[in-house]
Structures are given as C-alpha cells and as structure tokens.
C-alpha cells in the first residue's frame, strides 16, 4: 500500500509527553485503588450483560451490504 | 450561508442518517431486508397506538436524483450499480415476498391495506424511517444546530429501540437486535451519513480541497473505535475509526463500492439553483453525544470557512492512505506528509483548522459568548478542549471521545483477563458497545455510570421522538403527519401530499425552502385547523370548502 511511511505508530519521539490509555498518570494510593475498584465494578457489571457465547455470537453477526 | 441563519459559524441546515446493523440471534440466516421491513412495520404499530389517525406516511419519490453528480453531470442509469437507484421505491409487494419466502412468511407479517409491506415511513418528528438495502435506516429531520442534531439523531435510536421492544414482545417473530455501528468485521460496512445545506455558488473543487484534510483527521475526536484491522477485520488490533478501512478513493459518486472521502451525490432536496446538499459518507455512527456534536459542529464550521474562501491552504499526500494511517495510530503521534513537504500530526492539522475557524467566527461575530449565534462559541470551546485533552489527559477525553471510551473498556478486559486483540470477547465488547438497548448496550452502561458526558438531556431526546424541530420545514412535515396523518398519502424532504376526502385530486404542497414551514410561519395555521380540508384551503389560498 502506498503511504507506508506515514504509518509509524511505534516510532514515538522520545520527548512526546502524552499519556497512553493503558497507563494513566499515577494518582495517590487511595485514588488509585478507588479507580481500580471502579473499573473492576464496571467489568463485573458488563460480564453480566455480555452475550454468553462470544465466539459464536460475533461469528453469526453477518451483515449485507450498505452504504 | 443557509438562508436566514447567522453566517460564519456552526449553524446550518443539516441532518443525520443512520443505517443500523441488524441481527436476529435466534434466526440465523433470516433475510435482512425482510427483518428490516419488520422493524419498520413494528414502529408503524407503535405509532398507530400513539395516534389514532395513524401517524405514518408513505415516501414520495418524485424528487430523488441519486445519479446527479455535483461535478456537473448525470450518471447513465445503465451504468449505475443497482443499489445506486435509490429513487425507486423498494416495495416488497405480496408476490415478490411470496416468491422469495413462501406464503407463510407473508401471512405472518402484517400487511397494510394495499397488500404491501410498509418499507418507508415519515414520522411525526419529521424524520424518515425506511429500509435501505438490507438495513433499517433513520434519517433525522432537518435541524439548524449541532445540539439539535444530537437530539434528533439520538431520537432515532429511541425509535429503533421502540421497534426492537415491539418485536421482542411478539411471540410469532424472532427478536431482532439493532446496532448503531458501521461494520460486521467481515468486509461489510454500512453508513452513517451527514447532510449539510450549502449555497450552490460555492465551487465543488473548493469543497474537496477544504474538506479532505479535515476529513482525514477529524476521526481523532469523532471516531467510534473498532476492534480489527482491514475490511474483513482479519488483522488483530484496535483502530480509531469504524469506517476508515472501507474508503478507497478521494472523490466519487458511489456510496457502497469504491467509497470516496468526498461523495459527489447531488440531490439538493431543495431549490436546486440555490442550494446543494453536501452528502458526507465518511463518518462513524456515534453514540457518544459529544463525538456526534463535534462531528457536525466542526464540519459546519469548516464549511463556513470554505464558503468564505478561508479554508487552510494545505494538502495531504495520498489522503486515502493517510486516512487509514490516522485510524491505525491510537497514539496520535504518527505524522502526515503534506504536499508542501511539512510533516504534521493529525492533532496539529486539527489545530490549524480550529485556529482558522475560531478567527473567522470571531471576525463575523457569531462566536461571541453573549451576542453570538448561541452555538458557535460552545462548539469552538468543546473542540479546543477535546484536542487539548487528547494530547494531555486521555482519561478525561475518554468521557467524550467514543473510540477512547471503548478502548478504555477493552483495555480493562485485556488487563484483567490477559486477552490478545484477536480474542472473541473483545470483538463482542466492540459489537455490543453499539447495541441500542440500554440494558445490553455497553455505551449505555457507561452513560448510566456518568462516565460519558451528555450534550442534551434524556427529556429533550424523548421529546424529539414525537416533536419536530421548530425552525425548519421539518416542522411542517412532522405536524402534517401527526395532525393529518389519515389525509396525508405521501411526503418527502421537499413535499407533503394530501388526499382529502371529497376533493377530486391529490394536493402536493412543495417545501423547497428548508427554512420555511417553521413553527413561526405555520404554527398559527396548525392552531386554527383540526381538519385537513380547511387547513389546506387557507395554506394554498383556496376558497373555503374547495
């Protein structure tokens, strides 16, 4: 594909000072565990909502063409 | 310029279109067009309950011109793809249904009086609900501000939800799920389109030059996020946009094959020598209200720049490849090559557009917090705040940027369960993110926990399900349908057709000016008449009783 040279997600400049979603800035201890607790709660809730057979459900979601 | 609206900012006549993904888990292999027709049928039943007169109306196809190209020519019908012929009613008549599915299927389905399945409705809120190819589609009524787009677009999700609930309650039919997303991750994509009214005098080349760099990069705040790379999702990974991998060319008329960054379909649905309707096909469907708001608000601002001849003068090298490179770079650090040799990030490029739009809006006065147009100031503030957060505080950005909100959920699963990107559970999270049922849709689970910012409250969205916007012709269309539904035999963006008992012929009321037919202009007329006959007589200047 043309334009390969534009695709360089890994080659970050060293001085770039941005956060990556997986590694939010470390807050104070108490906040950190509260935040983790919030994520755990959320994932627990979503575990109960997700369709039961992930592989089969995703495979069966087949669409016809659209715009 | 859009008629009488303030010029230079984010106000403009515009609207959204959403094609929903459709799936019946208990009936694999069910025909998608048939299921989509059932969705329309189910909503017709809901509206019949709501309004005794029957608040549904057929679509009038006389002004559809899908083969008109904005570059100045018309595609020969014989050379068009069959699915480009959207000016022909996709009626499933009884015979075609029987041939395809057998009589039982037909009998299990509700038919209307004429023996055809309802494929097309005009709603009391001024929207259109219909079967487009193999998907149910909601086209919002015309509105004038990004805030109203968010409300009437989200109203479409409630319309779709009402149909899903109705079908779920029917023991005769398989339950149907609808998803506000854009791909099945098996090489099929379906659209979420934007429409913007523009003066015809703006040269189309200016639109292409001004919009392309903006469209290549705006996904960083309005992409919905996608698990899977390439059209068929075969390469594991996560990318910013649902749609980017499905675009193959820079400019073109098609919307289903060789998809172009700039679509040239030229059906103004309005006075053709004054207006063009810019049909934008590159966006993702958004559940995040902020993402949807910024998608329309910033695009409207950039169109104002283009109309004033003030769009930033820059060109991206190989825009289609750049579009995909931006989508594949969730770190937002990849650089794009410009034709002048510069290399800048997508964020840099958005800041260039922001600065130009902010300056133009200041110069025209529409951005003033007190004396402005009441919308542009807020759009500019949220645009700059979001770009700043994307660079400095991604956790904060995740409450408005949809691809980041989804990514943070996926990263939670990856961390807790040690999942690789190719794991089916992550694919399910991506799919179920867009389930329109609040108890199943993961976006709605985050919204319920106040993890997603709101632009409009639930009450406004609920009202937008039944009420038309007050300040466009959608007011007239919607009110005619909900007040005189029994006497309205058809409607389209630019007409309402009446068949009043006792009158010899149909009466077609043209609505070619999008900013007429407003509550201010026609509210009194609706207040004075409960019957279609006298209403039409006064509207058309006929003697009473004629």
pLDDT digits (tens, 9 = 90+) for B362-391: 999 999 999 999 999 999 999 999 999 999
- Average the pLDDT over B260-287 and give the result: 93
Active-site annotation holds for B132: yes
Tokens encoding B115: 């023996």
Please tell me the distance from the alpha carbon of residue B414 to that of residue B391, in angstroms, as a whole number.
Answer: 23
A55: closest chain B residue by CA: B424
Report yes or no: B205 at the A interface, CB cutoff 8 Å.
no
Report yes or no: B28 at the A interface, CB cutoff 8 Å.
yes
Tokens encoding A30: 């108490």
Least confident of B145-154, B290-299, B449-458, B501-510: B501-510
H helix intervals, B342-375: 346-364
Q: Point out the residue among A1, A16, A43 whose CB comes nearest to the CB of B412.
A: A43
Query: Which of A33 and A6 is assigned the larger pLDDT?
Result: A33
- Residue B131's φ and ψ, nearest 5 degrees, are -95, 120
pLDDT at B254: 85
Residue B403 has pLDDT above 90, yes or no: yes
Please tell me the distance from the alpha carbon of residue B244 to that of residue B223, in angstroms, as a whole number.
Answer: 9
Beta strand B177-179 with B21-23: parallel, antiparallel or unpaired? Answer: antiparallel
Residue B208 has pLDDT above 50, yes or no: yes
| Side-chain half-sphere CA neighbours of B419 within 13 A | 21
Beta strand B259-263 with B247-252: parallel, antiparallel or unpaired? Answer: parallel
Tokens encoding A17: 């000072």
SS3 B335: strand
Residue B72's pLDDT band (cuts 50, 70, 90):
low
Instruction: Give percent of chain B above pLDDT 90.
Output: 79
SS3 B388: helix
- Average the pLDDT over B126-139 and give the result: 94
SS3 B464: helix
State the average pLDDT for chain B.
90
Please tell me the distance from the alpha carbon of residue B378 to that of residue B383, in angstroms, as a whole number.
Answer: 8
Residue B75 has pLDDT above 70, yes or no: no
Instruction: Give percent of chain A above pLDDT 70.
Output: 45
pLDDT at B105: 32
Rounded alpha-carbon distances, angstroms, from residue B284 to A43, B47, B123, B219, B226: 25, 29, 24, 8, 10
Contact A67 B322 (CB under 8 A): no
**A61 min Cα distance to partner chain B (Å):** 6
Catalytic residue among B60, B109, B132, B245: B132
pLDDT at B376: 98
pLDDT at B308: 98
Instruction: Fill in the DSSP letter of residue B86.
Output: T
């Amino acid at each position: 594909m043309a334009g390969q040279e534009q695709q360089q997600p890994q080659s970050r400049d060293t001085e770039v000072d941005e956060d990556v979603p997986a590694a939010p800035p470390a807050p104070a201890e108490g906040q950190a565990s509260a935040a983790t607790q919030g994520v755990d709660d959320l994932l627990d809730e979503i575990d109960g909502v997700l369709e039961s057979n992930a592989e089969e459900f995703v495979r069966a979601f087949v669409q016809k063409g659209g715009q | 310029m859009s008629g009488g609206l303030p010029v230079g900012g984010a106000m403009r006549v515009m609207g959204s279109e959403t094609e929903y993904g459709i799936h019946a888990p208990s009936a694999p292999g069910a025909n998608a067009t048939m299921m989509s027709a059932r969705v329309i049928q189910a909503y017709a039943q809901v509206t019949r309950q709501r309004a005794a007169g029957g608040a549904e109306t057929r679509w009038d196809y006389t002004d559809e011109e899908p083969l008109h190209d904005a570059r100045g020519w018309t595609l020969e019908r014989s050379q068009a793809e069959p699915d480009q012929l959207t000016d022909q009613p996709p009626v499933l008549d009884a015979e075609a249904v029987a041939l395809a599915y057998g009589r039982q299927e037909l009998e299990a389905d509700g038919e209307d009086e004429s023996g055809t399945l309802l494929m097309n409705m005009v709603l009391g809120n001024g929207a259109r609900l219909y079967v487009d190819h193999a998907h149910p589609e909601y086209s919002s009524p015309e509105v004038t501000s990004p805030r109203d787009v968010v409300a009437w677009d989200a109203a479409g999700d409630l319309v779709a939800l009402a149909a899903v609930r109705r079908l779920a309650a029917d023991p005769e039919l398989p339950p149907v799920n609808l998803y506000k997303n854009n791909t099945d991750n098996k090489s099929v994509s379906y659209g979420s389109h934007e429409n913007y009214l523009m003066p015809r005098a703006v040269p189309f080349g200016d639109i292409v030059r001004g919009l392309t760099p903006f469209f290549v990069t705006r996904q960083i705040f309005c992409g919905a996020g996608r698990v899977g790379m390439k059209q068929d999702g075969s390469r594991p990974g996560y990318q910013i946009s649902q749609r980017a991998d499905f675009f193959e060319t820079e400019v073109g008329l098609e919307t289903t094959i060789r998809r172009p960054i700039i679509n040239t379909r030229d059906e103004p649905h309005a006075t053709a020598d004054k207006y063009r309707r810019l049909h934008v096909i590159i966006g993702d469907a958004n559940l995040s209200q902020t993402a949807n708001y910024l998608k329309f608000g910033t695009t409207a601002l950039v169109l104002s720049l283009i109309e004033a001849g003030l769009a930033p003068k820059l060109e991206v090298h190989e825009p289609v490849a750049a579009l995909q490179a931006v989508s594949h770079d969730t770190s937002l650090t990849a650089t794009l090559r410009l034709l002048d040799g510069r290399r800048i990030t997508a964020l840099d490029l958005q800041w260039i557009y922001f600065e130009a739009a902010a300056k133009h809006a200041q110069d025209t006065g529409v951005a003033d917090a007190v004396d402005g147009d009441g919308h542009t100031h807020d759009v500019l503030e949220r645009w700059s705040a979001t770009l700043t957060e994307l660079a400095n505080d991604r956790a904060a950005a995740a409450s408005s940027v949809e691809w980041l909100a989804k990514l943070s959920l996926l990263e939670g699963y990856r961390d807790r369960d040690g999942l690789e990107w190719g794991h089916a559970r992550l694919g399910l999270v991506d799919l179920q993110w867009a389930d329109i049922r609040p108890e199943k849709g993961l976006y709605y689970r985050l919204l319920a926990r106040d993890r997603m910012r709101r632009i409009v409250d639930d009450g406004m969205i609920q009202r937008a399900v039944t009420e038309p916007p007050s300040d466009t012709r959608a007011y007239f269309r919607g009110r005619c349908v909900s007040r005189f539904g029994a006497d309205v035999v058809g409607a389209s963006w630019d007409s309402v057709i009446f068949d009043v008992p006792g009158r010899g012929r149909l009466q077609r009321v043209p609505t070619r000016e999008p900013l007429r037919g407003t509550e201010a202009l026609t509210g009194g007329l609706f207040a004075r008449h409960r019957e279609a006959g006298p209403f039409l007589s006064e509207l058309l200047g006929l003697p009473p009783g004629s």
